[in-house]
Amino acid sequence: MSWPPIRPGWFFFGLALGLVTLGWLGRYVGRTDYHPGFVRFNQAISPEGNYFPTVDEMCAIARGCCRPDQVLVVVGGNSILYGVWQMQQEVWTGRLQELLGPRYCVVNFAFRGAVPADCGAVVAEALRDDFPRQIYIANEAPLTGEDAFGSAPYRFVFWQAYFSGRTLPFAPRDRQVRRYLSDRAHWNEAFELIFKEETDRVLHDTDFWNWVGFRHFFTVVSRYSLEPERRFLPRSEFPDDEVDGNDPKWEGVHYPPAADALETNLVFAGARLAYDPTPHGWRLKPAFHDDMLRTFGEAIPDRLKARTLILLGRNSPHYWNLGSPEDQDRGVAVIRDSVQLWRRAGYAAIEYGRGYSAEDYGDRAHLAPSGGRKLAAEVAPEVRAIAERLGYFK
Protein backbone atom coordinates (compact mmCIF):
# COMPACT_ATOMS: atom_id res chain seq x y z
CA MET A 1 0.00 0.00 0.00
CA SER A 2 1.49 3.30 -1.12
CA TRP A 3 -0.58 5.66 1.04
CA PRO A 4 0.26 5.61 4.73
CA PRO A 5 -2.30 3.65 6.73
CA ILE A 6 -4.00 4.93 9.89
CA ARG A 7 -1.82 4.57 12.96
CA PRO A 8 -3.99 3.64 15.94
CA GLY A 9 -1.84 5.44 18.50
CA TRP A 10 -2.08 8.77 16.73
CA PHE A 11 -5.75 8.22 15.89
CA PHE A 12 -6.75 7.63 19.50
CA PHE A 13 -4.54 10.47 20.66
CA GLY A 14 -6.39 12.78 18.24
CA LEU A 15 -9.74 11.37 19.36
CA ALA A 16 -8.98 11.87 23.03
CA LEU A 17 -7.51 15.33 22.52
CA GLY A 18 -10.49 16.30 20.35
CA LEU A 19 -13.03 15.18 22.96
CA VAL A 20 -11.13 16.87 25.78
CA THR A 21 -10.84 20.10 23.77
CA LEU A 22 -14.53 20.06 22.79
CA GLY A 23 -15.48 19.32 26.40
CA TRP A 24 -13.38 22.23 27.60
CA LEU A 25 -14.83 24.51 24.94
CA GLY A 26 -18.38 23.43 25.85
CA ARG A 27 -17.69 24.11 29.51
CA TYR A 28 -16.15 27.47 28.68
CA VAL A 29 -18.90 28.73 26.35
CA GLY A 30 -21.57 27.32 28.67
CA ARG A 31 -20.28 29.64 31.38
CA THR A 32 -20.05 32.61 29.05
CA ASP A 33 -23.03 34.85 28.40
CA TYR A 34 -23.26 34.67 24.62
CA HIS A 35 -26.74 36.26 24.48
CA PRO A 36 -25.83 39.96 24.70
CA GLY A 37 -28.86 42.15 25.34
CA PHE A 38 -30.93 39.13 26.32
CA VAL A 39 -34.65 39.85 26.71
CA ARG A 40 -36.28 36.42 26.63
CA PHE A 41 -36.00 33.03 24.92
CA ASN A 42 -37.90 33.81 21.75
CA GLN A 43 -39.26 30.94 19.67
CA ALA A 44 -36.11 30.54 17.57
CA ILE A 45 -34.06 29.86 20.70
CA SER A 46 -36.57 27.71 22.52
CA PRO A 47 -37.69 24.09 22.15
CA GLU A 48 -40.21 25.28 19.55
CA GLY A 49 -37.23 26.02 17.32
CA ASN A 50 -35.41 22.82 18.34
CA TYR A 51 -33.03 24.89 20.45
CA PHE A 52 -32.73 23.63 24.01
CA PRO A 53 -31.09 26.15 26.34
CA THR A 54 -29.02 24.56 29.07
CA VAL A 55 -28.93 25.35 32.77
CA ASP A 56 -25.37 26.65 32.40
CA GLU A 57 -26.41 28.87 29.50
CA MET A 58 -29.28 30.37 31.50
CA CYS A 59 -27.14 30.77 34.61
CA ALA A 60 -24.54 32.59 32.48
CA ILE A 61 -27.23 34.96 31.18
CA ALA A 62 -28.35 35.70 34.76
CA ARG A 63 -24.76 36.27 35.88
CA GLY A 64 -24.17 38.50 32.84
CA CYS A 65 -27.25 40.64 33.60
CA CYS A 66 -27.17 40.80 37.36
CA ARG A 67 -24.55 42.36 39.62
CA PRO A 68 -23.90 40.69 42.98
CA ASP A 69 -25.29 43.75 44.80
CA GLN A 70 -28.66 43.44 43.03
CA VAL A 71 -31.60 41.26 43.98
CA LEU A 72 -32.05 38.72 41.21
CA VAL A 73 -35.69 38.52 40.07
CA VAL A 74 -36.19 35.44 37.88
CA VAL A 75 -39.43 35.35 35.95
CA GLY A 76 -40.59 31.86 35.01
CA GLY A 77 -44.00 30.59 34.10
CA ASN A 78 -45.76 30.41 30.78
CA SER A 79 -46.53 32.44 27.67
CA ILE A 80 -48.39 35.09 29.66
CA LEU A 81 -45.24 36.04 31.58
CA TYR A 82 -43.11 35.40 28.49
CA GLY A 83 -45.06 38.25 26.91
CA VAL A 84 -47.02 36.88 23.98
CA TRP A 85 -48.61 39.90 22.20
CA GLN A 86 -45.80 42.12 23.54
CA MET A 87 -42.86 43.06 21.33
CA GLN A 88 -39.56 42.61 23.09
CA GLN A 89 -38.98 46.36 23.55
CA GLU A 90 -42.29 46.65 25.42
CA VAL A 91 -42.38 43.34 27.26
CA TRP A 92 -43.82 43.59 30.76
CA THR A 93 -40.61 42.47 32.45
CA GLY A 94 -38.88 45.55 31.03
CA ARG A 95 -41.51 47.70 32.70
CA LEU A 96 -41.10 45.70 35.93
CA GLN A 97 -37.36 46.44 35.82
CA GLU A 98 -38.07 50.16 35.42
CA LEU A 99 -40.47 50.15 38.37
CA LEU A 100 -38.15 48.17 40.63
CA GLY A 101 -35.08 50.26 39.86
CA PRO A 102 -31.38 49.43 39.90
CA ARG A 103 -31.42 47.51 43.17
CA TYR A 104 -33.16 44.66 41.33
CA CYS A 105 -32.31 42.76 38.18
CA VAL A 106 -35.21 41.16 36.30
CA VAL A 107 -34.50 38.21 33.98
CA ASN A 108 -37.27 36.67 31.88
CA PHE A 109 -36.92 32.88 31.67
CA ALA A 110 -40.59 32.19 30.95
CA PHE A 111 -41.42 29.77 28.15
CA ARG A 112 -44.62 29.19 26.25
CA GLY A 113 -46.59 26.41 27.91
CA ALA A 114 -44.26 26.12 30.91
CA VAL A 115 -45.38 25.62 34.53
CA PRO A 116 -44.04 27.16 37.78
CA ALA A 117 -41.57 24.32 38.39
CA ASP A 118 -40.04 24.59 34.89
CA CYS A 119 -36.97 26.37 33.55
CA GLY A 120 -36.90 29.62 35.56
CA ALA A 121 -37.50 27.76 38.81
CA VAL A 122 -34.65 25.36 38.11
CA VAL A 123 -32.22 28.13 37.18
CA ALA A 124 -33.13 30.18 40.26
CA GLU A 125 -32.60 27.09 42.40
CA ALA A 126 -29.24 26.40 40.74
CA LEU A 127 -28.23 30.02 41.42
CA ARG A 128 -29.30 29.99 45.08
CA ASP A 129 -25.72 30.26 46.35
CA ASP A 130 -24.51 32.78 43.73
CA PHE A 131 -27.55 34.98 44.31
CA PRO A 132 -28.92 34.26 47.77
CA ARG A 133 -31.00 37.43 47.47
CA GLN A 134 -33.38 36.28 44.78
CA ILE A 135 -37.10 36.30 44.03
CA TYR A 136 -38.80 33.88 41.70
CA ILE A 137 -42.03 34.85 39.92
CA ALA A 138 -44.26 32.39 38.08
CA ASN A 139 -47.86 32.14 37.08
CA GLU A 140 -50.36 29.34 36.93
CA ALA A 141 -53.94 28.92 35.89
CA PRO A 142 -56.29 28.75 38.89
CA LEU A 143 -56.76 25.26 40.33
CA THR A 144 -53.99 23.85 38.18
CA GLY A 145 -50.90 22.03 39.34
CA GLU A 146 -48.14 20.01 37.70
CA ASP A 147 -45.41 17.59 38.67
CA ALA A 148 -42.70 19.00 40.94
CA PHE A 149 -40.10 18.25 38.26
CA GLY A 150 -41.82 20.29 35.59
CA SER A 151 -43.77 19.66 32.44
CA ALA A 152 -42.62 17.20 29.78
CA PRO A 153 -41.50 19.68 27.05
CA TYR A 154 -39.25 21.60 29.46
CA ARG A 155 -38.21 18.83 31.82
CA PHE A 156 -34.80 18.63 30.11
CA VAL A 157 -33.76 21.66 32.17
CA PHE A 158 -34.69 19.95 35.41
CA TRP A 159 -32.89 16.75 34.40
CA GLN A 160 -29.69 18.68 33.67
CA ALA A 161 -29.75 20.29 37.10
CA TYR A 162 -30.85 17.10 38.84
CA PHE A 163 -28.19 14.83 37.35
CA SER A 164 -25.45 17.39 37.89
CA GLY A 165 -26.39 17.77 41.55
CA ARG A 166 -27.56 21.37 41.37
CA THR A 167 -31.02 20.82 42.78
CA LEU A 168 -31.77 20.91 46.48
CA PRO A 169 -32.78 17.72 48.23
CA PHE A 170 -36.57 17.95 48.51
CA ALA A 171 -38.25 14.76 49.63
CA PRO A 172 -41.60 15.12 47.82
CA ARG A 173 -39.90 15.95 44.52
CA ASP A 174 -37.21 13.29 44.92
CA ARG A 175 -39.98 10.78 45.58
CA GLN A 176 -41.80 11.83 42.41
CA VAL A 177 -38.60 11.56 40.37
CA ARG A 178 -37.81 8.08 41.71
CA ARG A 179 -41.36 6.94 41.03
CA TYR A 180 -41.22 8.35 37.49
CA LEU A 181 -37.86 6.83 36.57
CA SER A 182 -38.59 3.44 38.10
CA ASP A 183 -41.90 3.13 36.26
CA ARG A 184 -41.47 0.47 33.59
CA ALA A 185 -43.16 2.76 31.05
CA HIS A 186 -40.27 5.23 31.46
CA TRP A 187 -37.34 2.80 31.48
CA ASN A 188 -36.25 3.69 27.95
CA GLU A 189 -36.43 7.37 28.75
CA ALA A 190 -34.56 6.82 32.02
CA PHE A 191 -31.76 4.95 30.25
CA GLU A 192 -31.45 7.62 27.55
CA LEU A 193 -31.56 10.35 30.16
CA ILE A 194 -28.84 8.89 32.32
CA PHE A 195 -26.63 8.26 29.29
CA LYS A 196 -27.26 11.74 27.89
CA GLU A 197 -26.83 13.61 31.15
CA GLU A 198 -23.72 11.71 32.19
CA THR A 199 -21.99 12.27 28.84
CA ASP A 200 -23.11 15.89 28.79
CA ARG A 201 -21.75 16.40 32.28
CA VAL A 202 -18.32 15.36 31.04
CA LEU A 203 -18.32 16.56 27.44
CA HIS A 204 -20.68 19.59 27.65
CA ASP A 205 -21.75 18.80 24.09
CA THR A 206 -25.13 20.56 24.35
CA ASP A 207 -23.47 23.75 25.54
CA PHE A 208 -20.93 23.62 22.74
CA TRP A 209 -23.40 22.95 19.93
CA ASN A 210 -25.91 25.47 21.31
CA TRP A 211 -23.16 28.06 21.12
CA VAL A 212 -22.29 26.98 17.57
CA GLY A 213 -25.99 27.05 16.66
CA PHE A 214 -26.57 30.46 18.20
CA ARG A 215 -23.44 32.19 16.96
CA HIS A 216 -22.28 30.39 13.81
CA PHE A 217 -24.60 27.91 12.12
CA PHE A 218 -27.57 25.86 13.26
CA THR A 219 -27.79 22.27 12.13
CA VAL A 220 -31.09 20.98 13.44
CA VAL A 221 -34.16 21.08 11.24
CA SER A 222 -37.08 23.03 12.62
CA ARG A 223 -39.85 25.21 11.29
CA TYR A 224 -37.31 28.04 11.27
CA SER A 225 -35.11 26.29 8.75
CA LEU A 226 -37.65 25.20 6.16
CA GLU A 227 -36.54 27.80 3.62
CA PRO A 228 -33.24 26.66 2.08
CA GLU A 229 -31.56 30.04 2.47
CA ARG A 230 -32.29 30.02 6.21
CA ARG A 231 -31.41 26.36 6.68
CA PHE A 232 -28.14 26.90 8.55
CA LEU A 233 -28.51 30.49 9.75
CA PRO A 234 -27.33 31.02 13.32
CA ARG A 235 -30.20 31.51 15.72
CA SER A 236 -28.85 34.90 16.79
CA GLU A 237 -29.98 36.19 13.39
CA PHE A 238 -33.63 35.30 13.93
CA PRO A 239 -35.56 38.24 15.35
CA ASP A 240 -38.03 38.00 18.19
CA ASP A 241 -41.20 37.95 16.10
CA GLU A 242 -43.78 38.74 18.78
CA VAL A 243 -46.24 41.44 17.68
CA ASP A 244 -47.77 44.44 19.43
CA GLY A 245 -51.19 43.42 20.72
CA ASN A 246 -52.30 47.04 21.02
CA ASP A 247 -51.62 47.73 17.35
CA PRO A 248 -55.02 48.40 15.68
CA LYS A 249 -54.08 46.20 12.73
CA TRP A 250 -54.67 43.12 14.94
CA GLU A 251 -58.11 44.27 16.05
CA GLY A 252 -60.01 41.56 14.23
CA VAL A 253 -57.69 38.83 15.45
CA HIS A 254 -58.02 39.13 19.23
CA TYR A 255 -61.52 37.80 19.74
CA PRO A 256 -62.80 35.92 16.68
CA PRO A 257 -66.57 35.49 17.11
CA ALA A 258 -66.37 31.88 15.98
CA ALA A 259 -64.22 31.07 19.03
CA ASP A 260 -66.48 32.74 21.60
CA ALA A 261 -68.27 29.59 22.74
CA LEU A 262 -65.10 27.50 23.00
CA GLU A 263 -63.04 30.16 24.78
CA THR A 264 -65.84 31.02 27.21
CA ASN A 265 -66.14 27.36 28.03
CA LEU A 266 -62.39 27.21 28.70
CA VAL A 267 -62.73 30.08 31.15
CA PHE A 268 -65.49 28.50 33.21
CA ALA A 269 -65.69 24.75 32.57
CA GLY A 270 -63.01 23.55 35.00
CA ALA A 271 -64.63 25.24 37.97
CA ARG A 272 -68.00 23.60 37.31
CA LEU A 273 -66.53 20.23 38.25
CA ALA A 274 -64.61 21.44 41.28
CA TYR A 275 -67.25 23.44 43.16
CA ASP A 276 -70.39 22.69 45.11
CA PRO A 277 -73.07 25.30 45.78
CA THR A 278 -73.74 26.03 49.45
CA PRO A 279 -76.04 28.53 51.14
CA HIS A 280 -72.96 30.68 51.79
CA GLY A 281 -71.64 30.60 48.23
CA TRP A 282 -69.43 28.30 46.21
CA ARG A 283 -67.30 25.76 48.05
CA LEU A 284 -64.30 23.91 46.61
CA LYS A 285 -64.85 20.16 46.86
CA PRO A 286 -62.63 18.65 49.61
CA ALA A 287 -60.93 16.23 47.19
CA PHE A 288 -59.88 19.09 44.90
CA HIS A 289 -58.85 21.18 47.89
CA ASP A 290 -56.56 18.51 49.32
CA ASP A 291 -55.11 17.56 45.94
CA MET A 292 -54.34 21.17 45.03
CA LEU A 293 -52.80 21.93 48.41
CA ARG A 294 -50.50 18.91 48.13
CA THR A 295 -49.55 19.67 44.50
CA PHE A 296 -48.79 23.32 45.25
CA GLY A 297 -46.81 22.34 48.34
CA GLU A 298 -44.61 20.02 46.26
CA ALA A 299 -43.99 22.44 43.38
CA ILE A 300 -40.97 24.28 44.85
CA PRO A 301 -38.54 23.16 47.61
CA ASP A 302 -39.57 24.38 51.07
CA ARG A 303 -36.42 26.48 51.46
CA LEU A 304 -37.30 28.50 48.37
CA LYS A 305 -41.04 28.93 48.84
CA ALA A 306 -40.90 32.17 50.81
CA ARG A 307 -39.11 33.97 47.97
CA THR A 308 -41.56 32.69 45.34
CA LEU A 309 -44.42 34.83 44.04
CA ILE A 310 -47.23 33.04 42.21
CA LEU A 311 -49.48 35.10 39.95
CA LEU A 312 -53.01 33.98 39.24
CA GLY A 313 -54.72 35.83 36.46
CA ARG A 314 -58.17 36.55 35.28
CA ASN A 315 -59.07 35.90 31.69
CA SER A 316 -60.10 38.66 29.33
CA PRO A 317 -63.35 40.46 30.25
CA HIS A 318 -64.45 39.76 26.68
CA TYR A 319 -65.03 36.12 27.61
CA TRP A 320 -65.72 36.72 31.30
CA ASN A 321 -68.73 38.84 30.36
CA LEU A 322 -70.09 36.07 28.13
CA GLY A 323 -70.39 33.73 31.13
CA SER A 324 -73.59 33.31 33.11
CA PRO A 325 -73.89 35.13 36.49
CA GLU A 326 -73.46 31.74 38.16
CA ASP A 327 -70.26 31.05 36.19
CA GLN A 328 -68.93 34.49 37.05
CA ASP A 329 -69.69 34.03 40.76
CA ARG A 330 -67.92 30.71 40.77
CA GLY A 331 -65.06 32.16 38.72
CA VAL A 332 -64.41 34.74 41.42
CA ALA A 333 -64.31 31.96 44.02
CA VAL A 334 -61.87 29.95 41.91
CA ILE A 335 -59.27 32.71 41.79
CA ARG A 336 -59.79 33.66 45.46
CA ASP A 337 -59.40 30.03 46.58
CA SER A 338 -56.38 29.43 44.35
CA VAL A 339 -54.57 32.43 45.80
CA GLN A 340 -55.37 31.23 49.33
CA LEU A 341 -54.21 27.68 48.57
CA TRP A 342 -50.86 28.88 47.20
CA ARG A 343 -50.43 31.08 50.29
CA ARG A 344 -51.33 28.22 52.62
CA ALA A 345 -48.72 26.10 50.83
CA GLY A 346 -46.07 28.66 51.82
CA TYR A 347 -45.77 31.03 48.85
CA ALA A 348 -46.58 34.64 48.20
CA ALA A 349 -49.47 34.78 45.76
CA ILE A 350 -51.58 37.51 44.18
CA GLU A 351 -54.41 37.82 41.75
CA TYR A 352 -53.94 40.11 38.76
CA GLY A 353 -56.29 41.30 36.06
CA ARG A 354 -59.01 42.84 38.14
CA GLY A 355 -60.17 45.98 36.35
CA TYR A 356 -58.24 45.25 33.14
CA SER A 357 -60.17 45.96 29.94
CA ALA A 358 -60.60 43.62 26.95
CA GLU A 359 -58.09 45.83 25.10
CA ASP A 360 -55.47 44.97 27.72
CA TYR A 361 -55.52 41.40 26.44
CA GLY A 362 -54.40 40.04 23.09
CA ASP A 363 -56.62 37.01 23.44
CA ARG A 364 -58.32 35.11 26.25
CA ALA A 365 -55.29 34.93 28.55
CA HIS A 366 -52.32 36.83 27.08
CA LEU A 367 -51.75 40.47 27.87
CA ALA A 368 -51.17 43.18 25.30
CA PRO A 369 -48.53 45.81 26.17
CA SER A 370 -51.08 47.95 28.06
CA GLY A 371 -52.03 44.92 30.16
CA GLY A 372 -48.37 44.09 30.66
CA ARG A 373 -47.77 47.54 32.10
CA LYS A 374 -50.67 47.04 34.51
CA LEU A 375 -49.31 43.65 35.50
CA ALA A 376 -45.87 45.14 36.19
CA ALA A 377 -47.52 47.81 38.34
CA GLU A 378 -49.27 45.09 40.38
CA VAL A 379 -46.21 42.87 40.72
CA ALA A 380 -43.58 45.49 41.63
CA PRO A 381 -44.97 46.28 45.13
CA GLU A 382 -45.22 42.56 45.87
CA VAL A 383 -41.60 42.02 44.87
CA ARG A 384 -40.53 44.86 47.12
CA ALA A 385 -42.62 43.46 49.96
CA ILE A 386 -40.97 40.03 49.62
CA ALA A 387 -37.50 41.62 49.56
CA GLU A 388 -38.43 43.60 52.67
CA ARG A 389 -39.86 40.58 54.45
CA LEU A 390 -36.77 38.48 53.70
CA GLY A 391 -34.44 41.25 54.83
CA TYR A 392 -32.64 41.60 51.49
CA PHE A 393 -31.66 45.21 52.14
CA LYS A 394 -30.69 45.02 55.79
Q: Rule CB under 8 A: which residues touch another protein?
A: 1-19, 21-22, 47-48, 50, 52, 79, 84, 112-113, 153, 192, 196, 199-200, 203, 205-206, 208-209, 219-220, 222-223, 266, 363, 365-366
Which of 97, 206 has the CB closer to another protein?
A: 206
* Residue closer to another protein, measured from CB, 48 or 244: 48
HEC string of 221-236 equals CCHHHCCHHHCCCCHH
Least CB distance from residue 159 to another protein, whole Å? 10
Shortest distance (Å) from residue 224 CB to another protein: 11
DSSP secondary structure string, 39-84? ----GGGSGGGT----HHHHHHHHHHH--TTSEEEEE-SSHHHHTT
Residue 164: CB minimum distance to another protein, A: 14
Count, residues in the chain:
394
Q: What minimum distance in Å lies between the beta carbon of 242 and another protein? A: 13
What per-residue string of b and e applies to 170-209 under the rule 16 or more CB within 10 Å gives b? beebeeebeeeeeeeeeeeeeeebeebbeebeebbebbbb
Q: Specify the residue, 208 or 296, whose C-beta has the smaller distance to another protein.
A: 208
Nearer to another protein, 191 or 393 (CB): 191
Q: How far is the CB of 41 from another protein (least distance, A)?
A: 12
* DSSP class of 257: G
Q: Give how far the C-alpha of residue 375 lies from the chain's centroid of Cα atoms, to the nearest Å.
A: 17
Beta carbons within 8 Å of 15's beta carbon, 6+ residues apart = none
- In whole angstroms, the minimum distance from the beta carbon of 191 to another protein comes to 12
Question: Helices 171-182 and 187-203, interaxial angle, to 10°?
Answer: 120
